[in-house]
Structure 1
Amino acid sequence: MNTLPINWLTEGLIDFEYKKYLVLAYLQAAKAEFGKQRLYPVFSDLIMHYRNLLQVKEHKKLVYEQFPQRISRADFEKLELVYEKIIDDDETMQQIEEIIQYAAPLFVDAVGEGKELYDFIERHLEINPVGITPMYFDEGYLFLDAFPGKETQVYLYQLTIFENTYEKYRGIHTRHYKTVRRGLAQTHESLKVQLVKENQQLPNPATFAVVSKVPCPLEQSLLPIAKRTLVKYVATLAA
């Protein structure tokens, strides 16, 4: 899809009409992705751009270093170049203010549309443990059933914890292990038994099944939301 450079606001031609064209083309492409039920990577990209806009609006000094420099005076005797920031140009700053005022509401609308799609898909996911859940559940298997479909995607997952002074964050890494065709004889429970026989490195693996009740693309929507759902579910077990 049509992408937007991270420094689109301050790089290249600082012109309202030109930046307006860039934003509209990008947002049109983003909403087209949402229309196809595709959330990622466009949703996280949208959020990043919107946060950057707010940051620029509230702390304009943070973007000074993004501007190109031009030579304002050359000191030939000392062979030193003295640079003048284009940011000092009042006309340039006025253009940026106009671009932010125009673009910010459009990004709010697009992010809201993405959040509605995310919430809709999340509400139609069911997550359940498969078999007995061991005391250690920071790694194991994630079963993912798309709708409609007759296959279960099996992933190995591993949870990681990041901490700073204020908060603790849980992350998740997944690796696709295999695809299994579902049937009357191939239940989630029987699949777990089969995996234990195949992979003796995980003799008693924590295993969770996420089942979608609505159709959505696997890589762009279902898997990313299922991973977040699993992280939240495991967090409740660890509480």
Structure 2
Amino acid sequence: MSALSIALFDVVADLEAAEYRVRSGLRTTRVAFRDLCVEPHFGAAVALHRSLSALVEGADVVDETGPVTGVDWDTGRLTRQRGDAPLALDLARWALPLLSDVLEEGKAVYEFVSDHVELSTVGLVPSYQDEGFLLIEDGDRLRALRYRVSPLTGPSGSYRALRTSALDVALDPRAVASEWKAALAQAVPELPMPATFRLAADVDLPVDETLVPLAKRKLLGLVGGWGEA
């Protein structure tokens, strides 16, 4: 679970105490990044930065206009009055530069781990790749995930989403690819000749926090038409 969320800015009665909570969340996120843990911390930091930026930009527009208080007959314009900003907005304005610094650290970590992993195909890959298996090194075994890529439509348009589910199958990293595929076909008989991909890392990285989300992103880039692998 990420230490950063918009809930930190929801109700602010004591600005100093709220700043302490935000600093604590930023510190926890920095520690995670230094341990090469990418998610959910990086995604949460990006989402929070986007939300706070939109909040502050919207508040700035309101501050610039404010409620109508009368008419300036000399200029023919409405006169408006600026209001006092709530503490949550003061907290958001204070936090944004600090959050930007943490995001830069997260981006550097993401780029580092991306440079040290490789997604490769396992055996022959069929033309149909919207469904198959993803293998990820996890100590002395290969973790097997079944994946499915589906088209979705959202407010920003159409896109493709990748969903995975864990498979209870033991795969030896030292075995040959044909043995992996035979075990996978036995576990999921409705996919007798599936597309199969493997993510390997040349440095020690956390599996759930880094390797799995990175593998999903790279796989979606490869089979989802992004051209990234």
TM-score range, shorter chain: 0.7 to 0.9
Query: What residue is the counterpart of 1:114 in the other structure?
Result: 106
Query: In structure 2, do the counterparts of structure 1 residues 197 and 26 end up closer, same or farther at CA, with 3 Å as the change threshold?
Result: closer
Please list every run of 5 or more consecutive structure 2 residues that lacks an aligned counterpart in the other structure: 63-80
Q: What displacement does 1:221 show?
A: 1.0
Deviations 1:134-157 (A, max 9, x none): 1211111111124xx331111111
Map 1:54-73 onto structure 2 (within 5 A): 54-60=53-59
- RMSD after superposition: 2.8
**Equivalent position to 1:204, from 169, 190, 193:** 193
* Higher mean C-alpha displacement, 3-12 vs 204-213: 3-12
Please list every run of 5 or more consecutive structure 1 residues that lacks an aligned counterpart in the other structure: 64-87
Query: What residue is the counterpart of 1:228 in the other structure?
Result: 217
Query: What residue is the counterpart of 2:129 in the other structure?
Result: 137
Query: What residue is the counterpart of 1:176 in the other structure?
Result: 166
Assess if the C-alpha contact under 8 Å between 1:161 and 1:168 holds in 2: yes
> What is the aligned residue count?
208
Q: What displacement does 1:195 show?
A: 2.2
Q: What displacement does 1:182 show?
A: 2.2
Assess if the C-alpha contact under 8 Å between 2:125 and 2:196 holds in 1: yes
Q: What displacement does 1:97 show?
A: 4.8
- Per the normalisation by structure 2, the TM-score is 0.80
Deviations 1:177-226 (A, max 9, x none): 1232222xx12333113322443211111111111122111111110111
The question of 1:158 aligning with 2:152 is answered no
Distance 1:18 1:89 in 2: 27
Distance 2:148 2:157 in 1: 20
Distance 2:156 2:9 in 1: 32
Assess if the C-alpha contact under 8 Å between 1:157 and 1:172 holds in 2: yes
What is the identity percentage for the equivalent residue pairs of Structure 1 and Structure 2? 27
Distance 2:206 2:110 in 1: 12
- Per the normalisation by structure 1, the TM-score is 0.77
Distance 1:196 1:101 in 2: 54
